[in-house]
Chain A
Amino acid sequence: MTSIRSILVVEDDSDIANLVCMNLKKEGYEVVHAGDGRKGIELFDQGLFDMVMLDLMLPHVDGMEVCRHIRSSERYVPVMMVTAKSEDANKVAGLEIGADDYVTKPFSIAEVLARVKALGRRVEMLTKLSDESGEKALEFGDIRIEIDKRIVLLNGEDLKLTQKEFEIMRILSLTPGRPYSRRSLCEKAGVESFDGTDRTIDTHIKRLRAKVEKDRNRPVYVLTVWGFGYKFTDKFC
């Protein structure tokens, strides 16, 4: 069972909207379509959606604006951004304001469905962690992250991470595959970047890798997103 059941699709091209909705419905999701940004915000406020698929170029209110609106609401709802430009700047901007994932047009339906599923697993993992009775630990291959005790184990052995290193590990691993910019990682992990370049995070990552990875020059868990920041591997999802 996946924890994503209803999806809001915000897309102005009716053929593509129809295509996406049709295929999502076939997979058993409930789907609602909004043809522009304003309608998207309206519908989002009315209904309880588990996910939003959002085109970046929309009439009236653009995708970025809609994404900001969704992020300002209290409930965490994953957002998958759809861009027609393969321009990195767009992806970066989208991820920076809180999109969880993105696909670039022309995308394949199989790819979109796979990513929706992956986002579903992510949400599921998060709900399990916030569940009071549940065990608060994440496992990826040989790595075990115990959120409550704030420790990371490699094959059962405590890696003795510093507070900051643990914070970075926790943030990244909660959303495997989601890229974090250096800046947002600094902010979220409470790392001060005194030289203004956010490179302080690189130092923490380097030390973290030295503890977590078998070969720190060829990392498997904490991966680089070139020109942007870092992400946790989604190999185990």
Chain B
Amino acid sequence: MGRVVNKLSVRIVAVLAAGFGLYEFFVWGLLGAESAWREVQRGAAEPSGWIRPTAAVLAGILTAWAIDWCVMRRLRRLNRDVREVAGGDLARRLGSRAEDEMGELAAGINLLVDALRDNFDELRTNDELRRRLVANVSHELRTPLTSIQGYLETARNAGPVSPEISSNLDICHRETRRLARLVQDLFQLSKLDTRQLEFHHETMSFVELADQVGLAFEQRMLEKEITFQTSLPDDALYVVGDGNRLGQVITNLLGNAIVFTDRGGSITLECVQEGSQVICRVIDTGVGIASKDLPHIFDSFFHLEKSGSRNLGGTGLGLAICKAIVDAHGGTLQVESRQGDGTTFWFSLDAAAEPELVEPAD
């Protein structure tokens, strides 16, 4: 209660003082100055009323300055502080402690900033927790997986066992490998989702990459009696990208193509430059994809019921990862397929200029 009275009295005094100042300024200051000026023009050597108008003008200026000092200066400081908070300094608190509107405004803004910061901190902790969880889980799973996989492998090679045991061991081994891949893929997908997967972009020859990846598939194609062609131009076809990740995309697409193409079919890996784009296509003559399934093909864990790729060791994450990687390169991964006729996956990247040669010293 005392505070209110106190504030009220201060305010009444301030308003009275300002009113008095203004009255002095206009009535005595300006009017007085004008009549003094007229007296001077009429030839009076010593105008009579000099002092009062001068004092009144000075009082007016003082009042204006006082108002500016009290109100505007604090507003400016508040403005500066708010801007700093907006600039990201959430630890900053507005300084005004005065018990007036300005002080209350500052306190209100402080409350807002507090709430913002709490929310922010919570978000950050959640994100950090999630990131650590995924990283730790996949890390912790790797060691036991190595053990299981290794001991199973050793057991399989240990010597003759009954066909039943041998087949059981084979199943265990295959499933363990699948589990290991799942852990790896999940880890990578989660990092891609949260944009935590690092990309090491450099200017690189796409043809060289495609050629290397293609070479690595030749043996498997031969084993499945699939005609495999790599159709690459004579140029290097430079792009800016992460070679390891782009290699992973081509590997995944070729891997799918092998799985879903029957013996005797054919697969082509093709790279071309079309306009300002470098385009990479993986074309197969395999089972194809029904048009109703095409829209879902890039979803995580998507398997076609009929394709039964669940039994082929697939996890249904391959294409989701490919798409995320291509997206991260500013490209798009697309598919075209007719059931029974085969499938074409392709993606395009911006072509880059050949890197300039740094002239060696020798």
B117-150 interface with A by 8 A CB criterion: 139, 142-143, 145-147, 149-150
B171-194 interface with A by 8 A CB criterion: 180, 184, 187
**When the two chains form the complex, which single residue of B200, B207, B358, B361 contacts A199, counting CB atoms closer than 8 Å?**
B358
Q: Check if A224 sits within 8 Å of B204, measured CB to CB.
A: yes
A145-197 interface with B by 8 A CB criterion: 162-164, 191-192, 194-195, 197
Selected interface stretch from B42-50, B105-113, B234-242, B318-326: B234-242
Nearest CB to that of B214 among chain A residues? A218
Q: Which residues of B contact A200 (CB under 8 A)?
A: 358, 360-361
Selected interface stretch from A12-20, A35-43, A45-53, A116-124: A12-20
Q: Check if B202 sits within 8 Å of A203, measured CB to CB.
A: no
Distance to closest chain A CB from B194 (angstroms): 15
A109 within 8 A of B: yes
A74 within 8 A of B: no
Q: Check if A226 sits within 8 Å of B242, measured CB to CB.
A: yes
Q: Check if A226 sits within 8 Å of B360, measured CB to CB.
A: no
Q: Check if B139 sits within 8 Å of A85, measured CB to CB.
A: yes
Given known contacts A22-B154, A108-B150, A218-B211, A227 and B200 CB-to-CB distance under 8 angstroms = yes
A128 within 8 A of B: no
* Mask of B13-27 contacts with A, CB within 8 angstroms, 1/0: 000000000000000
**When the two chains form the complex, which single residue of A197, A206, A227 contacts B357, counting CB atoms closer than 8 Å?**
A206
Name the prevailing secondary structure of the B interface residues.
helix
A145 to B154 CA separation, bound complex (whole angstroms): 40
B153 within 8 A of A: yes
A131 to B340 CA separation, bound complex (whole angstroms): 62
Q: Which residues of B contact A108 (CB under 8 A)?
A: 149-150, 153
Q: Check if B153 sits within 8 Å of A88, measured CB to CB.
A: no
Most buried by A among B143, B154, B187, B235: B143
**When the two chains form the complex, which single residue of A23, A106, A164, A197 contacts B362, counting CB atoms closer than 8 Å?**
A164
Nearest CB to that of A86 among chain B residues? B184
Chain B residues with a Cβ closer than 8 Å to the other chain, count: 39
Q: Check if B232 sits within 8 Å of A218, measured CB to CB.
A: yes
Distance to closest chain B CB from A163 (angstroms): 7
Chain A residues with a Cβ closer than 8 Å to the other chain, count: 40
Given known contacts A109-B154, A202-B358, A227-B202, A19 and B147 CB-to-CB distance under 8 angstroms = yes
Q: Check if A106 sits within 8 Å of B146, measured CB to CB.
A: yes
B85 within 8 A of A: no
A81 to B108 CA separation, bound complex (whole angstroms): 58
Q: Check if A106 sits within 8 Å of B145, measured CB to CB.
A: yes
Q: Which residues of A contact B207 (CB under 8 A)?
A: 217-218
A18 to B149 CA separation, bound complex (whole angstroms): 13
A32 within 8 A of B: no
A126 within 8 A of B: no
B247 within 8 A of A: yes
Q: Which residues of A contact B261 (CB under 8 A)?
A: none
B151 within 8 A of A: yes
Q: Which residues of A contact B236 (CB under 8 A)?
A: 217
B79 within 8 A of A: no
A204 within 8 A of B: yes
Nearest CB to that of B205 among chain A residues? A217
A101-123 interface with B by 8 A CB criterion: 105-110
Q: Which residues of A contact B204 (CB under 8 A)?
A: 224, 226
Most buried by A among B145, B209, B358, B359: B358
Given known contacts A13-B147, A218-B207, A163 and B232 CB-to-CB distance under 8 angstroms = no
Q: Which residues of A contact B187 (CB under 8 A)?
A: 86
* Mask of B196-218 contacts with A, CB within 8 angstroms, 1/0: 00101010110111011000000
A219 to B212 CA separation, bound complex (whole angstroms): 9
B355 within 8 A of A: yes
Q: Check if B142 sits within 8 Å of A84, measured CB to CB.
A: yes
* Mask of B222-253 contacts with A, CB within 8 angstroms, 1/0: 00000000001011100000111001000000
Distance to closest chain A CB from B134 (angstroms): 13
Q: Check if A16 sits within 8 Å of B147, measured CB to CB.
A: yes
Most buried by A among B150, B153, B198: B150
A45 to B209 CA separation, bound complex (whole angstroms): 43
Q: Check if B355 sits within 8 Å of A202, measured CB to CB.
A: yes
Q: Check if B247 sits within 8 Å of A226, measured CB to CB.
A: yes
Q: Which residues of B contact A203 (CB under 8 A)?
A: 357-360
A108 to B146 CA separation, bound complex (whole angstroms): 8
Q: Check if A226 sits within 8 Å of B243, measured CB to CB.
A: yes
> Can you list the 7 inter-chain pairs with the closest CB atoms, starting with the nearest?
A226-B243, A227-B200, A106-B146, A106-B145, A218-B211, A19-B150, A105-B142
Query: 4 extra interchain contacts, Cβ-Cβ under 8 A, other than A106-B142, A194-B361, A217-B208?
Result: A192-B360, A195-B358, A203-B360, A226-B242
Binding site for A on B (CB under 8 A): 139, 142-143, 145-147, 149-151, 153-154, 180, 184, 187, 198, 200, 202, 204-205, 207-209, 211-212, 232, 234-236, 242-244, 247, 355, 357-362
Contact sample, A vs B, 28 pairs, CB 8 Å cutoff:
A15-B147, A19-B147, A23-B154, A84-B142, A84-B143, A88-B244, A105-B145, A106-B142, A106-B145, A106-B146, A109-B150, A110-B153, A192-B361, A197-B358, A199-B355, A199-B358, A202-B355, A202-B357, A206-B357, A218-B232, A224-B205, A226-B204, A226-B242, A226-B243, A226-B247, A227-B242, A227-B243, A227-B244
